[in-house]
Amino acid sequence: MTEEMLPRKKLGLLGCGDIGRYHLLAYRDLVDLVACCDIRPEAAEAFKREFGFVRSYTRMEDLMADPDIELVDVCTQVSIDPNSLTNSRFAAVQAGAPTGKHFLIEKPLAWEIDSAREIVEMCDRAGVRLGIGHRFRYTSTMNRAKELLKSDGYGDPFHAVYLLSHFGWSPPKPYARRPQMTIMEIGIHAFDLFRYLLDDEPTSVYCVTGRGGMRGVEDGPGDTHFDAIVKFRRGCVGNIYLSIDNYVGRKSWQTNWYGEVLVECSKGAIEVAGPDDESTLRHAGPDGRVEAIAAEGESTGFRGLMVEMLRALRDDREPTMSGRDHLNTLATSFAAYESADSGRPVVPRLFEPALR
Ligand SMILES: NC(=O)c1ccc[n+]([C@@H]2O[C@H](COP(=O)([O-])OP(=O)(O)OC[C@H]3O[C@@H](n4cnc5c(N)ncnc54)[C@H](O)[C@@H]3O)[C@@H](O)[C@H]2O)c1
């Protein structure tokens, strides 16, 4: 399916910050840019000028009431006030879904599972589609890894490893002040990637969190690295090591932005590794031949997210990274924190059936 066959949608962007910029740079040619909105007027105005939006707003309510907008990309933080449970995504969907707007929303959907579930239900009631920003799924190498794992040749996955060690990243302020930080901000991608690649759900999570020397969050309470063992229904065991404490730097041990993944199966193995723009998929099937496939196209996965969103709207179906599917990624992330607190493996409270 070529991108050229995708429907063009009229887009509103909520949140003109770091990730809003990455989104637009990756997919702006696929949509019509109608309006952008940020509570910081200078940010909204700067995005309007730079990307060519027709208008800009400073009140979310005005963006949601704009009758021209069909699809809203929500790139705010969950909440700008770390002490408040006010969820900017909740407020956006509450105002925009009844007017027929579809949503692509950055992860995590909420900091409480009930709030996330209500957002999913609001979209259901309004008959609009909800996709979540799990971009790690949609790089060209990860797409190919998923295809290979779905094919029969590799047999059953029995062991999966995810490794990510970051240097020089600072979490947005609200996250830095929260007790639940690195798993909610980055680790959630790893749990999501395992669920997606293995096409399976976790039965238990054992996790240990810690704080290292991460600069910029010295006064915060949150985790800066964690180790997790995740068992899956069909027997695969996943290992995650994720850290934002890496002092060594990019040229040595640091992995790329979406980590390195190895999946060992009964008849072969698949590995995705290397820096973002040179990420390589290596796989060895039952014949023992090793093939390396280099990444193609836009390397962050943000374009792939929008492509999947537009395909879902064209085909009148849920996007694969739907809000409903995200509930189980969130449940797995919360189980990891519960395990770290209790020192025991925890069974995630999953929603059934998850859709993928
Ligand atoms: N998918 C990924 O790989 C990825 C990577 C980084 C960040 N993120 C997520 O993206 C989200 C945003 O992160 P960021 O680093 O861009 O933050 P940021 O602070 O740079 O940008 C957020 C913007 O939203 C604006 N904003 C906040 N509340 C608003 C409201 N109610 N109405 C209008 N504007 C509002 C802020 O003024 C700010 O400009 C976070 O949830 C983060 O977890 C995702």
Q: Where in the chain is the domain with CATH 3.30.360.10?
A: 140-299+331-342
Q: Distances in Å between the alpha carbon of 258 and those of 28, 175, 190, 202, 214?
A: 22, 19, 8, 21, 19
**Residues 6+ away with beta carbon under 8 Å from 166:** 186, 243, 244, 245, 246, 254, 255
- pLDDT confidence tier of residue 255, bands split at 50, 70 and 90: low
356 band by pLDDT with thresholds 50, 70 and 90:
very low
Distances from the Cα of 221 to the Cαs of 176, 177, 181, 218, 242, in angstroms? 8, 6, 8, 8, 17
* Predicted TM-score of the model (pTM): 0.94
Mean pLDDT of all residues in 246-272:
75
What are the φ and ψ backbone dihedral angles of 259, each rounded to 5 degrees? 80, 175
Per CATH, is 10-128 categorized as 3.40.50.720? yes
Residue 80 near ligand 1, beta carbon < 6 Å? yes
Answer whether 155 contacts ligand 1 (Cβ < 6 A). no
pLDDT of residue 345 exceeding 60: yes
Question: If pLDDT is split at 50, 70 and 90, which confidence band does 116 have?
Answer: very high
Residue 318 in this model has a pLDDT that exceeds 70: yes
Hey, whose CA ends up nearest to atom 39 of ligand 1?
A: 17
User: pLDDT higher for 299 or 74?
Assistant: 74
For the domain with range 140-299+331-342, which CATH number is right: 3.40.50.300, 3.30.310.80, 3.40.50.150, 3.30.360.10? Answer: 3.30.360.10
> Using a 6 Å cutoff on CB, does residue 75 contact ligand 1?
yes
Q: Is the CB of 43 under 6 A from ligand 1?
A: yes
* Cβ atoms 280, 294 nearer than 8 A: yes
Q: How far is the CA of 172 from the centre of ligand 1 (A)?
A: 8
Pocket of ligand 1 contains residue 172 by CB under 6 Å:
yes
Q: Please tell me if the CB atom of residue 74 comes closer than 6 angstroms to any atom of ligand 1.
A: no
Distance 225 CA to ligand 1 centre (A): 22
- Greater pLDDT, 298 or 27: 27
Where in the chain do CATH 3.40.50.720 domains reside? Answer: 10-128
